[in-house]
Amino acid sequence: MSGFTEDQQRLIDVWETHTAAEFALKDADAAVATMTDDVCLVHVPVGTGAFGKEALRTFYREIFIPQSPPDFTLELLSRSVGQDRVIDEFIVRFTHSIRMDWFAPGIEPTGRQLAVPHVGIIGFRGDKMCSEHIYWDQATVLTQLGVLDPALPVMGANQCEPLVSTGAEMNELIVRGKP
């Protein structure tokens, strides 16, 4: 059981059931079955999501699930679990093959491959999720999509490298910014 208590593992199991419903099963009903009636989902960088189980079911069914690319993957980097919270650090990878208004509102598919570090803070009440706050760097997303000038002090896909490789180049933006 990876060093987690039984209660902590139960939270992890609910969270993993939830993400499987979203990305493997593509089933909005199965995803919201893991949640309380007053749940809130906030994709912090772009302000997308919903408040309340029924609004979230609609969001998942009409926007999130159909607008998630088929090659969308999550690579878990670290996990912290408390009494009522799971905090995951992960990298999302996908090809921007479809419009994703929940992630990059208003941007038509570019065909570009993206790699974006994320942090998810998942709150629980009992054995149900009551909140999902998901964070990422939107400037990195927009740079990888070709919307922002890559000369700006933004990392792009290289932002993932120090998280997965101890030999990664560091201080790239400082070096690039020197006269």
Does 52 fall in a domain?
A: yes
pLDDT at 169: 81
- Angle, alpha carbons 33-35-39 (nearest 5°): 140
For residue range 138-168, list pLDDT tens digits in order: 999 999 999 999 888 888 888 888 888 888 8
Boundaries of domain holding 171: 6-177
pLDDT at 128: 98
Does 139 fall in a domain?
A: yes
Mean pLDDT in residue range 34-44:
97
| SS3 at position 62 | helix
Does 13 fall in a domain?
A: yes
Q: What are phi and psi of 39, to 5 degrees?
A: -60, 155
For residue range 42-81, list pLDDT tens digits in order: 999 999 999 999 999 999 999 999 999 999 999 999 999 9
How many structural domains are present in the chain?
A: 1
H or E element in which residue 161 lies = helix 161-164
Does 1 fall in a domain?
A: no
Q: Write the CATH number for 142.
A: 3.10.450.50
Q: Over the chain, what is the mean pLDDT? A: 94
